[in-house]
Amino acid sequence: MAGTAAGQSQVTLTVTVVDGDGDPLSGIDLSATWDDGAGGPANETTRANGQALIDVPEGADVMLQIDDDEYVRNVPYVVEDAEAESVEVVVSESATATVSAVTADGQPAENARIRLYRDGNYVVDRNAGSDGAITTQPVEEGEYSVIVTKPGFYRNLTTVPVSGETTATVRISEGSVLLQAEVVDDHFNDSRPIRDATVRVESDNGFDGTVPTLSDGTASVSVPVNDRYDVTVTKEGYETVERRVRVAEDETSVDVDIRRTPEITLTPDNRQVIVDANVRFTVTDEYDAPVANATVTRNGTEVGETDADGEITATVPTAGTVTFTATAGDLTTTTNVTAFRPGEETTTGGAATTPERTATATETSDGSGPGFTVALTLVAVLVVTALAHRRR
């Protein structure tokens, strides 16, 4: 036998082919294969009594197929764990069906999907062409469920009896439903709705709609039924998120979690200092949370890492603009601190100023307290002026 491994133990199947009334059929060509089609085929034709003897490997799962112009089976007959046994294969007179799908106005439903279902199996599953129609291969006579679908149209399920050369027309209607997106920032323990995010809804069939989210984070779009949509959510300062959504014939919702675009910020507690002063820097993430273990450099030279509070203290040893940089993972940020020497001019907001020390009441006029003398002189002038006004 063709396809049989040498030395493999064989058994004989006695196959009887009968019609729907149980009458044996002669002259029916049978083909047996096994090992998922890798083994065989073993071909035989039924005799006058409707029987054919077929040798197959013992224990194999054998698939029996009918090849006949008048009779047909929608699915092959399977013999599991074959042994020397008799099996009866029921066949039916063959028929064809031409199914045409049309829209509400009678136009062909181009590329509509047409399926014929019977006895637990999809016998036909094909897309129609530009004429909206398909013609089946030979199938068993009988009653079939015919299902017609097309993006943007309601699903139509109808029953069609098939015999001979049957023709049937199935009408489908357009429809739409709401697709709602709920956009939240799930960084927080209680996710927070995102207002004014942009929700774009697109399909491969040409639909394209854009709406903003409301204060509750929701956005609704009316979309054609029975289609798949790409939902893209964008908002400045947030990462873009995409979802693929299947919409049937009921209102559909999709939850979209978005988060702020990862970034770090380096903030000094003072942007203008005297040379050799200490400055405390704080590194925070996109949610203003402290970033620990961020590496900080000064003009390219590392000065240390931030602590658990995201802080680090560094000196500013030279006059002028000093650049500090923080790095955490793939994220980097910079900031500048201006340092000056006492008595030197520095520019703040475009105006030249000369930083000076402020005198205190404990300083004396012997070189450390001229400011105190000036203050006393000012008080004396005010007292004299007041007395002069009283004498008038």
Write down all domains in the chain, each with its CATH number in brackets: 10-90 (2.60.40.1120), 94-171 (2.60.40.10), 176-258 (2.60.40.10), 264-340 (2.60.40.10)
Mean pLDDT, residues 276-294 taken together: 98
Q: How far is residue 330's CA from residue 29's CA, in Å, rounded to a whole number?
A: 70
Q: What is the reported pLDDT for 344?
A: 66
SS (H, E, C) 121-170: EEEEEEECCCCCEEECCCEECEEEEEEEECCCECCEEEEEEECCEEEEEE
- Continuous H helices in the chain: 370-391
The contacts of residue 90 (CB under 8 Å, 6+ apart) are 18, 19, 20, 73
- β pairing state of 165-171 and 92-102: parallel
| Residue located via tokens 């097309």 | 150
Q: Given a cut of 50, is residue 60 above it in pLDDT?
A: yes
Q: Using pLDDT thresholds of 50, 70 and 90, give the confidence band for residue 7.
A: low
Give pTM, 2 decimals: 0.73
DSSP state, residue 75? S
Q: What is the reported pLDDT for 353?
A: 45
Angle at 235 between CA 233 and CA 237, to 5 degrees: 135
The contacts of residue 342 (CB under 8 Å, 6+ apart) are 274, 355, 356, 357
Percent of the chain exceeding pLDDT 70 equals 86
For the stretch 128-164, pLDDT in tens is 999 999 999 999 999 999 999 999 999 999 999 999 9
For the stretch 318-365, pLDDT in tens is 999 999 999 999 999 999 999 999 876 555 444 444 443 333 333 333
From residue 25, alpha-carbon distances to 16, 73, 86, 372 in Å are 8, 14, 16, 128
181: closest CA among 150, 225, 123, 222?
A: 222
Percent of the chain exceeding pLDDT 90 equals 84
Q: What is the reported pLDDT for 8?
A: 72
Q: How far is residue 139's CA from residue 126's CA, in Å, rounded to a whole number?
A: 15
Mean pLDDT, residues 11-37 taken together: 95
Q: Residue 346, class by beta-carbon neighbours within 10 Å (0-12 exposed, 13-18 middle, 19+ buried)?
A: middle
Mean pLDDT, residues 271-297 taken together: 97
